[in-house]
A and B are shown apart, each in its own frame.
Chain A
C-alpha cells in the first residue's frame, strides 16, 4: 500500500510535468501512397442510386464515373463520354462513350447506362434522389409508376452510343450528369447479385478506386483500379475514408498526422488552427445559402412590408464576423456568388444601407403595416439546434426586438429533421434553414420558390411573374439571355422577401500541405484521382 501511494504521487507529478512542457512529436507513417481521408460521417449506402449525402459522394465518385465527371477544380469535364452533340432544340443529346472496362475487364457499354438510369428511376429501387433526373423524358412518370421503364427517354444506339431525350432543354445537363444519380452501375453484377452487388466482395467499378472493405463507423477502404481508363495518371494506391463525426477529434487526428485531410473543422477554431497548422486550413465559398423562411400564408407574414422589415433589421455582419467566424459571407441574395452561368446576380435594395438606417426603415414599414405600441408584433422563430445555429438565434432575436419595444420574438430550437418536416407541412411562422445546391446552377436555387415546387417551397411563395420567368429560363438556350431571365426573377422574389438571405455557406477543410492536387472549389468536390501525397517531406 505504501508503494502504491508513492506511485500515485509520482503519477500526479508526472502529469504536471507533461502539462507544462508540450514537446511536439509527430508520427509519420511510412505507408507511401496511401491517403487517409477524414470524411465527416458514416455512409448510409455506397450504392450511387441509394445515396444522398455529400460524404457518400466523396467515396462513390472515386468508384464510379458518369458521362461527365469533375476536374480538380470541381468543374464538369467529360468522363465516360468521349464526345457528344445536342440537337438544335436542346432536347436530344447523343453521347459517344470511350472504350473502357469495368474492374473485372467487362467493357462498359451504353447498355450499362440505360440499365442504370432505368434502375434509379424504377420506383421499386426506392431511390430517394431520383427526382434530380426528372429533366429526362418521361422520367417523372416512370418514377411514379405510371409509365413502363421502357418508356424512359434513354436508349443505346449501339454499344458505345447513348441517346438521352429531355423534357425541356437543360443547358446545365453536363453538370447534372456528374452527379452520382446518373453514374453507371455494372449491369452484369447488379443483375446477378441483386442488392448485394455493392458489397466489397461483389462490387465492380469503372472509376479510379475499387471498394475493398467497409467497417461500419470505422473506415471504408478502396484501392486503385488498374482497369480505370486514366489509371496511369492516378497517383494514390489506396485510400482510407474515416467517418469523422466529431470534428474536434478529427482536428487532433490531422495534427497528429493520422489523417491527411478532413473535410471539416470546428469553425470557432479558425484562428487557432491557422497558427497551429499553417498551410492546412482551407476555407472557400460553397454552393449554399442559409436563409430564413416566412410562412407567407399566415398573417402577418402575408404582408411583404412585414417580411422586408424583418429581413433588413438583421445584422449579418455581426453574425458572420463575431459568431460564425469562419469565413461565411453576409448574403443579400439567395443565389451565392460564383455560381455557374449566373455572372451578375441580384441583390436586395437595402443592402448598402447602414444598420441604423435599416432599423429605422424597418420600424416605419411595420408601423405602415399596422403594428405599433397598441398592436405589438409577436411571433416565434424556430431554428435547428445543431452546429452554430443555437448561437446565432439569440442574436437574431435581439436584432428583431431592437426594431421597436413592441416587437417580441420568442425563439425555439428543434431537431433538424423535425424542423424540416414542419417547414414542409407549413407548421411554423419564421424559421431558419439552409440549402446546399445539388449541382452548380442558379436554377437549383431559384426552383425552391416556384409555386410548383410544393413542399420544398417552405415559404409557400407564389408569384405568377416569378414562376413564368423561371420557367422561361429553363427553356432558354442562350446562356446570357437565360442568366438575365433568372436575375430578373430573383430580383422580383427578393423584393417580395418570402425568404431572408442570411449568409453564403463556406466549405472548411484541413488539408496537409503534403497533399497535392487539392483545389478549393465552390462545389466542394475533390476526387481522389487528382490527389497525391509526398511523405518524404516533414512538416
Chain B
C-alpha cells in the first residue's frame, strides 16, 4: 500500500510537468497578448511591459523563467491586475470556490446515491421512473437556467434568500444555499443514474442472492453487502468531478456573483493573463491527481478484490 502511494506520487510529478508545459505553450499560442487592448498602449511602454514579464524573449527562455520561479513556489505577478499577484488572487478566490464545490458535492453524493439506490430497488416501477425522469431533467436543464430561476423564486418573489453575492466577504449558509443547489442539481442527476445502474447490476450478482437465501433481512443485504460494491463506479467518478467543482464553476459563480476562481480562470484566459491561467491550471491538475489517488485508495478499502502491491 505504501509502495503504491510512493509510486503514484512519483508518476504525478512528470504528469504535472507535462500539464504545465502543455498549458504554457497552448496559452502562448493563442492570438494576442495581455497588452493588446482595445486602446493601444504606446509602443515604448508596451516594450517595457513585455520586458518586465520577459515576453520579449524567445518562448523557450520564457518557459525557463517560469519554471525557475515556480520551483521557488512563486506563481508570479498577474499580467493584468497591477496591484496583485497570482498567489493573492488564488488565495482570495479558492476558499470560496472550494466551499461552494465541496458543499455541492456532498449534497449531490448524499441525495444522488439515495435516489439512485431507491430507483434501483424499484426498478421499472413508478418510483424508478419518477426518479430517473427527474434525473434526466436535472441533466438536461443547465445551471444557467436553474440558477436564475432559483434566484428569481427564492430571492425575489419569496424574498427568503439573497439573489447573489456574499455577506461582505463572509460565506454564510443563506448566501451559499442557492448556488450550492444550482451546482449540485446536475451532479445529483448524474450520481443517481450511476448509482442506479451499478446497484441494479450488484443486486443481480450471486453473492446477493446467497445473502437473501441465507435469510438476511432486505435492509441488511442492501446496506451491508450491495451498497459497498455498488458505490465503486461512483468513487471513480467522484475524483475528477470533485476537482472540477472545487476549482469553481464559471457559470454559477457568474450568476450568483461569487468571487471564486472559476470566473477568474475564464476571465484570465480571455484577457490573456498568462500567469493567472497557469496558476489555476496547476492547482487544478494537482487537485485532480490527488483526488484520483484518494479514489484509488478508497477502491482498495471498499473492494476486497483490489489489492495494491
A interface residues (Cβ-Cβ under 8 A, vs B): 1, 4-5, 8, 15, 18-19, 22-27, 42, 44-47, 50, 52, 123-124, 126-131, 143-145, 195, 198-199, 213, 215-219, 221, 240, 242-246, 248-250, 252-253, 255-256, 258, 415-418, 420-421, 424, 455-456
Given A216-B92, A249-B257, A252-B164: A128 touches B157 (CB 8 Å cut-off): no
Out of A42, A217, A243, A255, name the residue touching B156 (CB < 8 Å): A255
Count, A-B residue pairs, CB within 8 A: 161
- Give the docked Cα–Cα distance between A418 and B40 (Å): 12
Out of A4, A18, A240, name the residue touching B118 (CB < 8 Å): A4
User: Can you list 13 residue pairs at the A/B interface with Cβ under 8 Å?
Assistant: A25-B156, A123-B45, A126-B52, A128-B41, A216-B89, A217-B264, A218-B259, A240-B168, A246-B257, A249-B164, A253-B165, A415-B32, A420-B37
The reply to whether B37 and A52 contact each other, CB–CB distance below 8 Å, is yes
The reply to whether B36 and A124 contact each other, CB–CB distance below 8 Å, is no
Residues of B within 8 A of A421 (CB): 31-32, 36
The reply to whether A258 and B163 contact each other, CB–CB distance below 8 Å, is yes
Q: Give chain B nearest CB distance to A60 CB in angstroms.
A: 12
- Give the docked Cα–Cα distance between A23 and B93 (Å): 35
Residues of B within 8 A of A255 (CB): 156, 163
- Give the docked Cα–Cα distance between A364 and B112 (Å): 68
Residues of A within 8 A of B260 (CB): 217
7 closest pairs, A vs B, by CB?
A25-B159, A217-B259, A218-B259, A45-B82, A22-B157, A421-B36, A252-B163
Count of residues in B whose CB is under 8 Å from the partner chain: 59
Out of B32, B52, B84, name the residue touching A417 (CB < 8 Å): B32
Out of A19, A22, A143, A246, name the residue touching B44 (CB < 8 Å): A143
Which residues 96-135 of B have a CB within 8 angstroms of A? 114, 118, 121, 127, 130-131, 134
The stretch among B17-25, B147-155, B197-205, B300-308 that forms the contact with chain A is B147-155
Residues of B within 8 A of A144 (CB): 44
Residues of A within 8 A of B264 (CB): 216-217
Q: Give chain A nearest CB distance to B126 CB in angstroms.
A: 9
The reply to whether B263 and A217 contact each other, CB–CB distance below 8 Å, is yes
B interface residues (Cβ-Cβ under 8 A, vs A): 31-32, 36-42, 44-45, 48-49, 52, 80-84, 88-89, 92-93, 114, 118, 121, 127, 130-131, 134, 148, 151-153, 155-160, 162-166, 168-169, 254-257, 259-260, 263-264, 267, 270-272
Q: Give chain B nearest CB distance to A384 CB in angstroms.
A: 9
The reply to whether B259 and A216 contact each other, CB–CB distance below 8 Å, is yes
The reply to whether B163 and A45 contact each other, CB–CB distance below 8 Å, is no
The reply to whether A253 and B36 contact each other, CB–CB distance below 8 Å, is no
- Give the docked Cα–Cα distance between A215 and B92 (Å): 7
The reply to whether B84 and A216 contact each other, CB–CB distance below 8 Å, is yes
Q: Give chain B nearest CB distance to A262 CB in angstroms.
A: 11
Residues of B within 8 A of A52 (CB): 37, 39
Residue of A nearest to B42 (CB): A131
Chain A residues touching B, majority SS: mixed
- Give the docked Cα–Cα distance between A242 and B163 (Å): 14
Q: Give chain A nearest CB distance to B138 CB in angstroms.
A: 12
Residues of A within 8 A of B159 (CB): 24-27, 256
Residues of A within 8 A of B158 (CB): 18, 23, 25
The reply to whether A248 and B148 contact each other, CB–CB distance below 8 Å, is yes
The reply to whether B114 and A4 contact each other, CB–CB distance below 8 Å, is yes
- Give the docked Cα–Cα distance between A138 and B78 (Å): 32
Out of A127, A128, A145, A246, name the residue touching B254 (CB < 8 Å): A246
Q: Give chain B nearest CB distance to A423 CB in angstroms.
A: 9
Residue of A nearest to B271 (CB): A417
Out of A50, A216, A252, name the residue touching B155 (CB < 8 Å): A252
Q: Give chain A nearest CB distance to B243 CB in angstroms.
A: 21
- Give the docked Cα–Cα distance between A131 and B45 (Å): 10
Query: Which of B52, B82, B270 has the most chain A CB atoms closer than 10 A to its own CB?
Result: B82
The reply to whether B38 and A417 contact each other, CB–CB distance below 8 Å, is yes
The reply to whether B38 and A420 contact each other, CB–CB distance below 8 Å, is yes
The reply to whether A242 and B38 contact each other, CB–CB distance below 8 Å, is no
Q: Give chain A nearest CB distance to B294 CB in angstroms.
A: 29
The reply to whether A19 and B153 contact each other, CB–CB distance below 8 Å, is yes
Residues of A within 8 A of B127 (CB): 5
- Give the docked Cα–Cα distance between A19 and B152 (Å): 10
The reply to whether B45 and A24 contact each other, CB–CB distance below 8 Å, is no
Out of B92, B130, B131, B163, name the residue touching A256 (CB < 8 Å): B163
- Give the docked Cα–Cα distance between A216 and B263 (Å): 11
The reply to whether A47 and B83 contact each other, CB–CB distance below 8 Å, is yes
